[in-house]
Structure 1
Amino acid sequence: MSYHSKILRSASAAAILVSIGATQTLAQAAPPPPPATPATSNAPAAGSVIGNQAVATYLNSAGDTITVTSNTVETVVQQVAGVTLSSDNTENVAPGGKAFLPHIITNDGNGPDGFDLSAAEDDAGALETSQLVFYPDANMDGVADSATPLIETPVLAPGEQFGVVIEATVPSTNAAGATDTITVTTTSQLDGTVVDTNTDTLTVSNDAIVELVKSMVADASSAGDPNIIDAGDTVTITLTYSSTGLAAANNYVVQDVLDGNLSYVKGSARWSDAAAPLDDDNASTLADGTNGSGETIAWDHDDGQTINFSLSSVRSGRSGSVTFQAVIADTANAGIVYNTATTALNGFVSPPSNTASITVDNQYSVSIADTAINADGTANGATTSATDDDAAQNDVVTETGDVFQGATIRQEFVLTNNSNEADSLSVDFANVDYPAGTTFRIVGADGITPVIGSVGPLAIGESTKVTLIATLPTDVAPTAAGSTNYTATMTVTSDASGVTDTSTAEFTGAVLAASVDLENNVAGSEGDGAAPTNGGAPWVSNATDPGVPTTFDMVVQNNGPVSDSYNLTLAQAIPDGWTVEFRDANGTLVTNTGTIPSGAQETITVTIVPADDAPVAATPIDIQVASSVTGQADRIVNEITVNAIYDVQILEDQTAQASPGGIVDMLHTITNEGNSDITEGAITQTGLTNFSGAIFWDQNGNGEIDATDPVIDNFDDLTDGIAAGTNGLAAGETISIIYRVQTPSTATPGVSESGTLTLGTSLNGATATDADTADNANEDRIVIIAGDVTLTKYQYIDANCDGTAGTFTKTRQPVEPGQCIRYMIEASNTGSFEATEVTISDAAPAYTSITNCGGSCAETLFPAGSTATITSSAVSSDHGSVLPGGVARLEFTVEVDN
């Protein structure tokens, strides 16, 4: 069985009325053990999305270390049913009397569900059941609270409980010694095949019979549901006895061994028949109280977990109770605490009480800091940030090392789950005063794998690490050591509760100047240095009509120590339909400056031709030069006043490597984020000169170009995309496109081009305009290198976790808790030179762990001789060298938490 990680603050119960027509004799039975306290589940809730991507590194022929990332694959957790019914009961009942047989139903599924209730007599003891009726019992104390019949439970949230008490009535014609059993069944309404049963046994007796009902409720001072309590709070425990036999019950003994999460409160015991408190220190044979009929009680607490009391006699028809208190341990985990009391009558074992329960509420606490944090908020130092330059444990991860413009800054944080149940944690960042244009990403404990979705689940008190990687813009202003103070806020959030904690990433090192300077060749508007804008404004503003070219004259200065060449690109996408040309001093069309000696400069012109379309407001032209060798870059932002901007959301900028004459396919998604269908709007590519490219609609979403996939340049090319006969993209829908770029066979290593994919903002025949321009385009950069490795990730569902082979796909798949996902990552050398030291790294997504299915789904590697290092949460494989046209492959399996 499984238990959802969040137990809701509601509970209810039911009773069943059963009439039985035969007699039984007294039968002694050993008391059943109480149900095991359930462990809170790590299973993901229905609808959770599990996803991740892999990372590969290799050395090309020039000795450069290249890192590539795969596509992201996702699975969606499906709702599954689960139910537990507890527990079996054994009772004695007098002819014409009643027995009360309590049960508890728990929803063990990962989503809301209702449960049908039924009971059936097996007739083995010649007794007949005349009716089966269910009644509610809200406080689950074994006594029906209402006479309203029920045939099903209410809809229960994951982990929620619903009690059942069978009221069994025996006709007076039954003879002593007659027995019968009743099978109680509860069935999931979500999945009619998911059931659980209990068996209740009744024996008719003419002797003394005492029925014991146990209840545990939160102390009266506690607010909310009496069946739910916090760690450290007080529980009131009541043992109610009723003499229902034909004779007085003599020497009735009750023993209650408390669960380890309960601590008895000394001096709290009371007997309903006497005013004075019961003495904890008396031996169990000494009388602690006497009622008006001369009946006595002997009470004893063994200073541990055991409570004993004995009653000298209980007359037939008499009832009474013993009440005491216990405290829930501060260390108690979230979940259900069960307890059952055992009994003996005149020296013989008699039926136990019902199984009472109290739910320890979820208490959530999470932390993110430069060290692991204890539950009391103090630092324990067991796990600390490896990048924190500040020796103090002050919740701030400080980096003091100097970096160049465009460099990456790594800051490691420690996440800790101090909740009283396992929990998955989401982590996010917010830029405070890192420079505009800084990009951020978060990677996991291995320092490589991107964090997608949640981290964990983490056990109670468990810590893990994540790293915030900030990449400065290449044009950030240089700063002196000690004068920089860049900060970002890191936030961790409990998936189960939304509880959060924050920490700070701080950079105080110097930012060293870049080695290239791009300037306008216009007096007073050069843009000297690293500032891309003139205090937020453009350096040069040109006005032009739609479709009329306008030119910026510029200078590229190599301020580095050695000769270098620089690729010419636009750092920001220009509107759909616009074109850009870069020309050298001779008027030759170029994409690279050519080699510029140290200290020298070259002039270039940048010609922009706006689309021949409706006017738009002033448009920034973000011109960039970047060395493909050193990565040094600079930007200038100028401006063109035109009258049209086209933009619709397109995701996933990519950088790819290709060999001369090679082909590279880059997968992107286009999403209609609005609430209206899009029937028309441009989808174009710009920026390629010597390279050539085309955009394909991946109609079946398999991540590959098929013969039937069309080349597109507009939303109206999406045939029947909205409905039969209506082309376009429906509101809220997403499509996949593949940007295929082919490089010229004459290209040499180091040459690169950038292709910009742009979606127009003028939609539906210019009757609507996209309101969000922040994500209207992406830029794909293709670099010619000696070794060209692409990384692709696939998956299929292994439903039984037995290694059954499936069909790999890149598309989103449905998965259930307890099922397995088989991943395959392929690193393909599509270049013309050998790739060496090829490694593939991946991690188990949130709510999963790596498994070998008992040996039936162990990892597989290709080529022969490859090795892998695998833990329950991460995998890394070494594949050595991969020749042109060859592949390195890693397959492994993860199991979804149940």
Structure 2
Amino acid sequence: MSALCGWASAATPAGTIIRNQALASYTDTDGNRVSVASNIVETLIEQVAGLQVTSNQQQRATPGSRISFSHRIQNTGNEIDRYLIGAGNAGGSIDLLNIEVFADANADGVADSANSISVTPGVAAGDDFFVVITASIATGAIDGDTAQLLLDVISEFDTAVTGQNLDTVTVGTGPAITVVKSISPGSGLSPSGSHTITLTYENTGDAAAGDVALIDALPDGMSYVPGSARWSHSGAALSDADPDDLQAGMFGSVRFCAYHTSCVGLPEAQGDADTTSLNQLTAIFDLVDAGQRGSISFQVNIDAGLPTGSLANTAEFEYDIAVGTISRQFSNTVLFEVLADAGVVANGSTSNAINGLNEPVSLVSVGQGGVVVFDNIIWNTGNATDTFNIEVQAAQSTFPPGTLWQLLRDGGSSALTDTNGDGLVDTGPIPPGSFVTVGLRLQLPAGVAGNNSGLGFDLVKIARSVTDAGIADSVLDHLDEIVANVVDLTNQAPAGSSGALGQGPGPEASPVSVVTVDAEHIARFDLYIRHQGSRTDTYQLGASGTAAGSALPTGWQVQFLDPADNSVITSTGVLASGMSRHVRAEIQVPADEPAGTHSVWFKAYSASTGTSDVKHDGIVVIAADSLSIEPSLSAQLEPGGSVVYEHLLINNGNTRIDDITLGLDESRPDWSSVLYLDTNADGTLGPGDLPYDSPLSLLPGESVDVFVKVFAPADAATLQRNVTTVSARWNGDADLVQIQDQSTVNDSRVAIRKEQALDNGCDGQPDDPAGFGPDQIEVTPGNNCVVYRLTATNLGLEPAYNVTIHDYTPAYTRYRPIAVCSRTPCWVQEPAQEDVGIISAETDQLLPGDS
């Protein structure tokens, strides 16, 4: 009935299967709200390559020296990939010599081995790989010469995906400072510590450098440990305060200040967001001789509350040469990997992830045989996006046996599915600090009510981390009471009204009402059935010969009629709470029934909830001679179908009756019927039974079986009713007896089918308009969409009203409006552009066969 479109994020891992299932609801002809689920459709995410290379660098070097540059290669695709690496001269006044690329797996700015590489190992999606490029400066280079070095990186999966960095070397005689940064260990939880950062400096030039300043502004999430700094040339702790304090070492002295209010007037870090030197570590060496090497090391802690990912940090440095100051230079970039730390809270609060808040999730009551939905809030309290499997502890449930459960996504718009292929339904990915609402829908069995001896009813759900199966939390869903429906069967007026007889639970010890049979041996009772409860209900009608429910006496027949049109009914139809139904009960007794008062017990019974009431009435029988035909019957059939009613024609008198003629009459002119006699006396209509064609004779007490075969026209409408009147006449047609058979055309059923098609480029139209189907499709993430088509079809023979299709944007997708209906009127509700949520479409009715 409507088409819905979604798109998959480029970060969605390759191989992910997006599963989605829709729900539809409608009101049937009994007034009940019915929900049906669609088939599940699957979308397979394809691999997309991506990379980022950082960063362009500058360095000063002396003729004949060896230089190195550190670079970071990041996999920004959605699957593991390898990268082809090339490095070469790219301009400048001179060429570099002996250019090689080496792996730097620990990101310390130093080659891991003497073996150069031309391709990386496999790099997982979102991970990094570091390389070091080394080259030599020609000995004949002179002051002012420049060389440019190009790093070229190509995805092995998709060679069209590339990245480059351009490094620049300036040749100069005199000092040449390099700085290499490292951190150990390079990964940990949030919070954790301490971790050691080392800044190693070296003068690779041929003259001393003055006022060599090392600057390190730590990234957000990383905190300096006061008093932890050490200089390799002294070994003693460096004072964090007083930037003018000269602290002596084996080679020269250093002025040091770190994260202190006194750290003013120092070279400001270019890599942080402020304009003060207070929030950084600064070390200024008065002199670094040619060939001299040293290091500053210090401790850092990792702050609490950080998400998974990398904290990138680059040190800065500058120094003086004979003719001035070398402008700001940068070390290699080091990464600290914040590891995933799974956490989950399942509670009843959408405002706070406190364990136990709004728990248990409680409801006061629900009607007998009704539906109850508990909304549980699943919070990701870890520091990384995580998915949580949902486990229902059905075996430990105290809900009544026969309770059916179903897990639903936010608002009950669609069924919870398995988004990661591990065979368990789950929440889908939840970002850290966010939550998903998981609904537990319980369909209670019809015949159970009460409060479980005052304990109520409990069911536990567990949310378990996919990242770490040892991390889980449970939430308790509690229902105080299942409220029973109540029915009251009375005479003369509805229960609660003036004149009502037999109010309250039955059966009574003595008859409430006593009725004398008329000349046709029929006793007629006015009955009222009043329903009270939290949900609608329908009550079947019956009569019995004892309070325990045994059959009526031999030869007795009962039928229930609608007083408005005398149509035969077998139930009250749908009753809302407080409604009542007037029914006329007619009991036919045999003509030879002994005179006297006989008891009869009427019953109203709900097949869905088991609720019932029984009322005791009496029948006074006066013997009389007569001819009878019984019983009046009712049945349902399909358009173009037929139904057979069997009747018994009985001589209830004490004399022979001759020249009995039988007749048929239809209430609708387009219906027809044929009358047969039970010629072979087998009690069923068969090929050996002949159509009635001549008058009959019956001795006293003698009877004959008569069959009425009723045919409905092929174009009969749903709920169309026809009454066939069967008559018997005798005494020259002066005496007449007749009964009526009621035939009703009836059926109602709605089904929903979900299909999908690919929409590359997200233009809102399927690439192949004929390509819709329920089978799995493959889609490349990014600016590509899946178009869903949901079709609700009335497969029955009755209209379905207020038909609503529900769906929900599946995991890894965002919504692209607009949804379109195939019919009018139609009311659509949908999320905003690139949002997630419920999509629904409602129409007023579906006729049989309509979609």
* Aligned 1:214-253 pairs, distance under 5 A: 214-218=181-185, 226-253=186-213
Correspondence 1:422 to 2:385: yes
**Residue equivalent to 1:881:** 844
Indicate conservation of the 8 Å contact 1:207/1:247, yes or no: yes
**Residue equivalent to 1:276:** 236
Indicate conservation of the 8 Å contact 1:365/1:419, yes or no: yes
Indicate conservation of the 8 Å contact 1:260/1:305, yes or no: no
Distance 1:279 1:73, change over 3 A: same
Partners of 1:887 and 1:254 lie apart in 2 by 78
Correspondence 1:91 to 2:59: yes
**Residue equivalent to 1:356:** 334
Q: TM-score, normalised by structure 1?
A: 0.60
* Aligned 1:92-107 pairs, distance under 5 A: 92-107=60-75
Structure 1 residue 142, shift from structure 2 partner: 0.3
Aligned with 1:459 (options 425, 431, 448): 431
**Residue equivalent to 2:146:** 179
Letter in 2 for 1:209: A
Distance 1:864 1:455, change over 3 A: same
Distance 1:299 1:632, change over 3 A: closer
Partners of 2:31 and 2:571 lie apart in 1 by 24
Letter in 2 for 1:798: D
Indicate conservation of the 8 Å contact 2:214/2:282, yes or no: yes
Indicate conservation of the 8 Å contact 1:834/1:881, yes or no: no
Structure 1 residue 66, shift from structure 2 partner: 3.8
**Residue equivalent to 1:305:** 279
Structure 1 residue 131, shift from structure 2 partner: 4.4
Partners of 2:58 and 2:637 lie apart in 1 by 78
Structure 1 residue 865, shift from structure 2 partner: 6.2
Partners of 2:284 and 2:156 lie apart in 1 by 45
Correspondence 1:331 to 2:305: yes
Indicate conservation of the 8 Å contact 2:457/2:481, yes or no: no
Indicate conservation of the 8 Å contact 2:51/2:155, yes or no: yes
* Aligned 1:375-414 pairs, distance under 5 A: 377-378=354-355, 393=357, 395-404=359-368, 406-414=369-377
**Residue equivalent to 2:495:** none
Distance 1:845 1:629, change over 3 A: farther
Structure 1 residue 337, shift from structure 2 partner: 0.5
**Residue equivalent to 1:442:** 407
Structure 1 residue 595, shift from structure 2 partner: 2.3
Partners of 2:134 and 2:252 lie apart in 1 by 32
Structure 1 residue 334, shift from structure 2 partner: 1.0
Structure 1 residue 62, shift from structure 2 partner: 5.9
Unaligned 5+ runs, structure 2: 1-8, 262-277, 419-425, 489-528, 532-536, 542-553, 556-567, 573-582, 588-603, 612-635, 641-712, 722-743
Correspondence 1:798 to 2:759: yes
Structure 1 residue 141, shift from structure 2 partner: 0.5
Structure 1 residue 402, shift from structure 2 partner: 4.8
Structure 1 residue 70, shift from structure 2 partner: 2.4
Q: Secondary structure at the match of 1:230?
A: coil
Correspondence 1:489 to 2:460: yes
Correspondence 1:321 to 2:329: no
Q: Secondary structure at the match of 2:410?
A: coil
**Residue equivalent to 1:849:** 814
Aligned with 1:868 (options 810, 813, 828): 828
Distance 1:865 1:745, change over 3 A: closer
Partners of 1:52 and 1:744 lie apart in 2 by 40
Unaligned 5+ runs, structure 1: 1-40, 219-225, 380-392, 517-558, 567-584, 587-592, 603-626, 635-657, 663-742, 752-782, 853-857, 889-898
Q: Secondary structure at the match of 1:490?
A: strand
Letter in 1 for 2:281: I
**Residue equivalent to 2:551:** none
Partners of 1:784 and 1:125 lie apart in 2 by 96
Partners of 2:184 and 2:251 lie apart in 1 by 30
C-alpha offsets along residues 1-49 of structure 1, whole Å, 9 cap, x if unaligned? xxxxxxxxxxxxxxxxxxxxxxxxxxxxxxxxxxxxxxxx994433322
Correspondence 1:200 to 2:167: yes
Indicate conservation of the 8 Å contact 1:422/1:459, yes or no: yes
Q: Secondary structure at the match of 1:504?
A: strand
Indicate conservation of the 8 Å contact 2:806/2:841, yes or no: no
Letter in 2 for 1:399: L
Partners of 1:168 and 1:101 lie apart in 2 by 9
Structure 1 residue 181, shift from structure 2 partner: 2.0
Structure 1 residue 835, shift from structure 2 partner: 4.8
Partners of 1:630 and 1:180 lie apart in 2 by 91
**Residue equivalent to 2:3:** none
Structure 1 residue 79, shift from structure 2 partner: 3.0
Distance 1:90 1:131, change over 3 A: closer
Partners of 2:430 and 2:637 lie apart in 1 by 44
Aligned with 2:129 (options 148, 162, 170): 162
Indicate conservation of the 8 Å contact 2:37/2:752, yes or no: yes
Structure 1 residue 832, shift from structure 2 partner: 6.2
Structure 1 residue 258, shift from structure 2 partner: 1.5
Indicate conservation of the 8 Å contact 2:217/2:279, yes or no: yes
Structure 1 residue 442, shift from structure 2 partner: 0.9
Partners of 2:605 and 2:214 lie apart in 1 by 83
**Residue equivalent to 2:663:** none
Distance 1:102 1:146, change over 3 A: same
Distance 1:560 1:747, change over 3 A: farther
Partners of 1:480 and 1:228 lie apart in 2 by 51
Larger radius of gyration: 2
C-alpha offsets along residues 545-593 of structure 1, whole Å, 9 cap, x if unaligned? xxxxxxxxxxxxxx99797459xxxxxxxxxxxxxxxxxx99xxxxxx9
**Residue equivalent to 1:739:** none
**Residue equivalent to 1:148:** 115
Aligned with 1:815 (options 776, 779, 798): 779
Letter in 2 for 1:189: E
Partners of 2:745 and 2:17 lie apart in 1 by 36
Indicate conservation of the 8 Å contact 1:265/1:325, yes or no: yes
Partners of 2:824 and 2:283 lie apart in 1 by 72
Partners of 1:100 and 1:248 lie apart in 2 by 20
* Number of aligned positions between the proteins: 595
Instruction: Report the aligned-residue RMSD.
Output: 4.0
**Residue equivalent to 2:314:** 340
Structure 1 residue 306, shift from structure 2 partner: 1.6
C-alpha offsets along residues 433-452 of structure 1, whole Å, 9 cap, x if unaligned? 33443321011221342112
The answer to which of 136-145 and 50-59 deviates more is: 50-59
Q: Secondary structure at the match of 1:309?
A: strand
Q: Secondary structure at the match of 1:509?
A: strand
Correspondence 1:296 to 2:254: yes
Distance 1:839 1:804, change over 3 A: closer
Q: Secondary structure at the match of 1:88?
A: coil
Indicate conservation of the 8 Å contact 1:45/1:79, yes or no: yes
Structure 1 residue 282, shift from structure 2 partner: 0.5
Partners of 1:563 and 1:322 lie apart in 2 by 85
Q: TM-score, normalised by structure 2?
A: 0.63
Distance 1:319 1:887, change over 3 A: farther
Structure 1 residue 111, shift from structure 2 partner: 2.8
Structure 1 residue 274, shift from structure 2 partner: 1.6
Indicate conservation of the 8 Å contact 1:278/1:288, yes or no: no
**What fraction of aligned residue pairs are identical, expressed as a percent?**
27
Indicate conservation of the 8 Å contact 2:451/2:480, yes or no: no
